[in-house]
Amino acid sequence: MTLGSVHSLETMGLVDGPGVRVVVFLQGCALRCRFCHNPDTWEADSGEQVTPQELLHRIVRCKPYFVRSGGGVTFSGGEPLLQPEFLLETLRLCREADIHTCLDTAGCGRGMYDEILRYTDLVLYDVKQVTEESYRKLTGRDWTETGRFLQAVRRAGTPVWVRHVVVPGLTDSEAHMAALRAFVSAHVPNVQKVELLPYHLLGVQKYKTMGLMYPLAGVPAMDTEQVKTWQARYFDSLDGSKSNRCKK
């Protein structure tokens, strides 16, 4: 029997893919991003143990709400690709139930990418950084694995929405925005849209509660108006970037 470790479910998500969505947060992540606001999802051996069939039952109960909006289910985390067998089986069940699926990922899993993408309608791909050195400093890992994932996305032809966190002092300059656009154009296939996400402080209390040091202590929240300006200047002109719809 295949079991997965689920951190939590959000039943009315509005920002993780098109339409209203059920967002499934899976346990486990190999990265330690300095701006991570979900440290409670890092450990793989915690969370609720469920079967794909049990998880599908919970998702289907919300189907009347998300179908009318063009929504579906988004698998997030943590890093959902660290539970490939469970994820694949759940994605297959969602396809059989005619439920639109999104994969919210940094592309750092344990393989089976081609099989998983066969049942994935949309990838929400988190670009952490645009050079290998800066990627390692931000995440604590090299980017070999995420490169493998992007190769699989290219083979599959799965539509991609790129997401990138804008952090004061790290990723908040004109030069970085130009480099990000160049990186996406060169390395990320099938891009429909790029979303810049302003860094926020909502995860600070979690670190305190868990007794962890917060890596970006003292860094203020990102100016949302500046992010909107960069969004319009660098990314809204990309082909498909103004479309909020994606095809199965």
pLDDT higher than 50, residue 245: no
What pTM does this model have? Answer: 0.92
The set of residues, in sequence order, having a beta carbon less than 8 Å from that of 111 and lying 6+ positions away, is: 84, 148
Residue 240 confidence (pLDDT):
54
Nearest alpha carbon to residue 246 among 18, 12, 16, 13? 18
CB 235 within 8 A of CB 196: yes
- Give 34-91 pLDDT, tens digit per residue: 999 999 999 988 899 999 999 999 999 999 888 889 999 999 999 999 999 999 999 9
pLDDT higher than 80, residue 135: yes
* Domains along the sequence of the chain with CATH: 4-235 (3.20.20.70)
The distance in angstroms from the start CA to the end CA of the chain is 29
pLDDT higher than 60, residue 248: no
Q: Which helix (H) or strand (E) holds 78?
A: none
Residue 237 confidence (pLDDT):
81
Strand-by-strand arrangement of the 72-76 sheet:
48-50, 4-13, 21-26, 72-76, 100-105, 122-126, 160-166, 191-198
Asked, as a colleague might, if the bond just before 13 is cis with ω within 30 of 0, I would say: no
